[in-house]
Amino acid sequence: MSLGKLVRRADVDNQAKRVGKTTEERFWEKTRREPSGCLVWTAYRTAGGYGQFTLNGRRIGAHRAAWIIATGEELTRAQCVLHVCDNPPCVEITHLRVGTTAENTAEKIARGRDFYMRGERHGAARIPEETIVKIRSMLAEGITHARIAEVFGCSRTHVTNISNGKARKAPSPQPTALMVAMALQRARAQSYRERQLIIVESIVHPDDAIPWEEWRPTRFHGYWVSSLARVRGPRGTILAQTRGGGEKRSYFFVQCGARNTRQVHWLVCEAFHGPRPEGMVAAHNDGDSFNNLPENLRWATPAENQADRRAHGRLKTGEEHPQSRLTDLQVQEIRKQVPGPHGTLERLAREFGVSASTIARIRDGKR
């Protein structure tokens, strides 16, 4: 036995001594006798209903621990403790037996607790059971695998596997009770999601309705935008719009789902003027970034957008630029002194508190 196991066992034994209880006493006090005869584990259980117990410093299944404690038999990894009563929390020794994983799976199938999809119910299956019957009939008639694959739209390898018994070798089993219950649960969940995403194109909440307002879908499922630049969510409610982009130049934003922030003017332009052409941006005709009505928007090139900004007085240049560190008078003074003798750029950079490359760009007419 390894040193780590010895240390863990010593810790468990010391804890048992401190509380004055043996391992057996600690185990059996966590059980309760049921009228059915099962001895049910009352302490911690897994999601599958199986109890958990720490034995010799290792956490194992309570039913497995019951077998070891009662019989003193050391089990290998390949050995499983199976429930004859088919009751996972039961630790009654007479309801348990040692078996293999294959036996455990076979019992699950026989008792209707198998959740594994087989045959046409498998998620990757594309051929129904009646087609498999036709394929086997054609194979018996001597029709080639290539011809069968062409007729039914599958691969030749799949037809060969059916012929050799490597695929769909048995008829699709009937769904078990567990499979039916899980399918019903998935159907209820899907029905709930569909109810949440029901969209009536011409109707919003009565308190939010405005006459003659036109609603069009966005490219995000369940989200609609109107001719009044309002955005509607999947539940028919009007979404709140927030400002972003700074104090003087800003846009309206809206959340089209989790972690999906979108500009409102882009949504309106896409809905009323078609998908964005390659390389185009959504431009405001009047220069007002908050006026997101469809008639005020258009798709424009970046150069056209810059021209609009310049025409509307929204393009900041020179000393009006937020990142400008030099006034127009300072730039004129620099231009008077360049070009000059060696060291002029470094001297002017120190004098005006900018980099030498900035002085060089002013000299070359780039700024």
Task: Give a yes or no: residue 201 inside a domain.
Answer: no
Greater pLDDT, 183 or 299: 299
In this structure, is residue 229 part of a structural domain? Answer: yes
**Domain final residue pick, 172, 196, 220:** 196
Asked if residue 129 belongs to a domain, the reply is yes
Note whether 16 and 93 are same-domain residues: yes
- Both 93 and 9 in one domain: the answer is yes
Same domain, 105 and 120: no
Are 190 and 255 found together in one domain? Answer: no
d(CA 119, CA 147): 23
Calculate what percentage of the chain has a pLDDT beyond 90. Answer: 38
pLDDT for 187: 77
Domain boundary among 110, 130, 151: 110
In a domain, 62, yes or no: yes
- Residue 50 sits in the same domain as residue 127: no
Q: What is the pLDDT of residues 296-328, one digit of tens each?
A: 999 999 989 888 887 876 666 556 565 666 777
Contact (Cβ atoms closer than 8 angstroms) between residue 82 and residue 98: yes
pLDDT of residue 167: 86
How confident is the model at residue 336, as a pLDDT?
77
What CATH number has the domain bearing residue 54?
3.90.75
Regarding whether 10 and 106 lie in a shared domain, the answer is: yes
* pLDDT for the residue numbered 18: 47
Is residue 182 one of the residues assigned to a domain? yes
> Containing domain of residue 351, as a range?
324-363
Average pLDDT, the chain: 82
pLDDT at 184 over 90: no
Q: Is residue 221 part of a domain?
A: yes
Residue 6 is predicted with a pLDDT of 47
pLDDT the model gives residue 107: 83
In a domain, residue 178? The reply is yes
The pLDDT tens digits of the residues spanning 235-269 come to 778 999 998 765 555 889 999 988 899 999 999 99
DSSP output for 280-339: -EEEETTS-TT---GGGEEEE-HHHHHHHHHHTT----GGGSTT--S-HHHHHHHHHH-S
Q: How confident is the model at residue 5 (pLDDT cuts 50, 70, 90)?
A: low
Looking at the structure, do residues 246 and 261 belong to the same domain, yes or no? yes
Task: Based on the fold, state whether residues 125 and 182 are members of the same structural domain.
Answer: yes
Residue 218 sits in a domain whose CATH number is: 3.90.75.20
**Distance between start and end Cα atoms, the chain:** 79
In a domain, 255, yes or no: yes
Taking residues 100-129, what's their average pLDDT?
Answer: 76
Amino acid at 276: R
Q: How far is CA 58 from CA 5, 65, 93, in A?
A: 8, 10, 20
The CA R_g of the chain, rounded to the nearest whole Å, is 38
Residue 114 is predicted with a pLDDT of 62
Mark whether 96 and 143 lie in a shared domain: no
Confidence grade of residue 367 (pLDDT, cut at 50, 70, 90) = low
Q: Residues 119, 71: one domain? A: no
More confident residue, 365 or 317: 365
**Helix or strand or coil: residue 274?**
coil
Grade residue 60 by pLDDT with cuts at 50, 70 and 90: very high
Residues 91 and 24 in one domain: yes
Asked whether 158 and 151 are in contact (CB, 8 A), the reply is no
CA angle 10, 16, 21 (to 5 degrees): 150
**Residue at a domain's end among 196, 229, 262:** 196
What are all long-range contacts of 353-356, with beta carbons under 8 Å and residues at least 24 apart? 353/325, 354/325, 354/326
What pTM was computed for the model?
A: 0.38
Higher pLDDT, residue 228 or 258: 228
| Structure-block tokens of residue 36 | 């059915």
Evaluate if residue 20 carries a pLDDT over 80: no
Total count of domains within the chain: 4
Q: Please tell me the least confidently modeled range out of 5-9, 285-289, 307-311, 315-319.
A: 5-9
Q: Is residue 35 domain-shared with residue 80, that is, in the same domain?
A: yes
